């Protein structure tokens, strides 16, 4: 979209409302541009001096855009018109926690691709929240394992913890909570299936943990995590829990069927050093049979081996 031929069709002082309207219009195929605050010359329309967020569309899309927004409005007291119901109600119900500051929840759901595409520079991504959430997650899980398994040695507790906080585990939690449908993504990430990517889902889950912690303190964060991890902690009480790891199981499975041993190749590394994710491909001979993602090469290989076992069992 160019800077000319634009019509401002929506103004708000709420980033949440702006995100909702953008997502609504995007879902109807209407491309938008957003700016916040008085930034002269960025667009050829006059910005509100109060620093409101403005959403603009092509002139030819303006009528349809207004119609789409009006169809989702509701009247409230005092004659105000607010766009859309609170879209986070269902998510908060699934989380089991109601935010006092919903801006924190919005922040936790905002991927860096959205921040990079925002021309105003006023959108903050969730990477700092991921960093904090990882620390809160590690503390709560370690404390729970310390109390739940006093007779287990350090290695056993470390293995349980690694399984619980792995990328695959967090991504599964995010899927169960429906975080993918609420993530605020840039258009490029949206088009490449970002809502289903394990790494993005896991990162958003950690950011959500941090948002709960910042909004309500450690107790609500602990309550949320213990509810989500209760099944995994109970599973660790099974004597068979400490069976052979996924890589060993895959190797044994392939050897039993007369196939070559698996080869693990790092296909990529993404993210800053303190939040790096490794992508690993699993080959059997010349065939790529699975992929894995993890915060270390070892974790990525284990996740790849697990995915390979799942694929072999389905074949």
Q: Whats the size of the chain, residue-wise?
A: 315
Q: Could you count the other beta carbons within 10 Å of the beta carbon of residue 197?
A: 18
The catalytic residue among 206, 228, 301, 303 is 206
Q: Does 134 participate in catalysis according to the annotation?
A: yes
Token code pair at residue 37: 């605050």
Q: Could you count the other beta carbons within 10 Å of the beta carbon of residue 7?
A: 15
The catalytic residue among 134, 189, 203, 215 is 134
- Pair 207, 108: CB distance under 8 Å: yes
Token code pair at residue 206: 């950690």
Q: Could you count the other beta carbons within 10 Å of the beta carbon of residue 135?
A: 13
Rounded-to-integer distance, Cα 202 and Cα 261, Å: 30
Q: Contacts from 305-310 at CB under 8 Å and sequence distance 24+?
A: 305/245, 305/246, 305/247, 305/249, 305/250, 305/262, 305/264, 306/168, 306/246, 307/282, 308/250, 308/262, 308/282, 308/284, 309/246, 309/249, 309/250, 309/253
Q: Does 206 participate in catalysis according to the annotation?
A: yes
| Residues with a known catalytic role | 134, 206
């Amino acid at each position: 979209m160019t800077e000319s031929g634009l019509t401002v069709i929506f103004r708000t002082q709420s980033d949440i409302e702006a995100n909702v309207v953008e997502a609504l219009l995007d879902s109807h195929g209407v491309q938008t541009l957003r700016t916040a605050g008085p930034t002269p010359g960025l667009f050829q329309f006059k910005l509100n001096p109060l620093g409101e967020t403005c959403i603009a569309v092509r002139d030819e899309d303006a009528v349809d855009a207004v119609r789409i927004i009006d169809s989702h409005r509701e009247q409230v007291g005092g004659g105000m018109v607010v766009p859309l119901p609170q879209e986070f109600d269902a998510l908060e119900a699934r989380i089991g926690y109601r935010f006092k500051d919903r801006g924190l929840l919005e922040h936790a759901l905002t991927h860096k691709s959205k921040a990079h595409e925002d021309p105003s520079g006023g959108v903050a991504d969730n990477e700092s929240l991921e960093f904090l959430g990882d620390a809160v997650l590690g503390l709560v899980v370690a404390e729970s394992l310390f109390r739940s398994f006093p007779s287990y040695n350090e290695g056993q507790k470390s293995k349980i913890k690694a399984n619980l906080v792995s990328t695959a585990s967090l991504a599964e939690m995010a899927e169960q909570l429906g975080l993918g449908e609420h993530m605020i993504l840039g258009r490029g990430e949206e088009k490449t299936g970002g809502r289903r990517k394990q790494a993005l889902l896991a990162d958003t889950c950690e950011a959500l943990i941090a948002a709960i912690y910042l909004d309500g303190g450690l107790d609500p964060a602990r309550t949320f995590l213990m509810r989500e991890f209760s099944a995994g902690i109970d599973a660790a009480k099974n004597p068979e829990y400490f069976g052979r790891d996924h890589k060993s199981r895959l190797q044994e499975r392939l050897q039993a069927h007369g196939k070559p041993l698996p080869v693990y190749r790092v296909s990529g590394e993404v993210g800053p050093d303190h939040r790096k994710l490794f992508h690993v491909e699993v080959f059997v001979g010349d065939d790529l049979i699975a992929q894995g993602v993890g915060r270390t090469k070892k974790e990525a290989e284990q996740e790849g081996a697990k995915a390979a076992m799942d694929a072999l069992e389905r074949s």
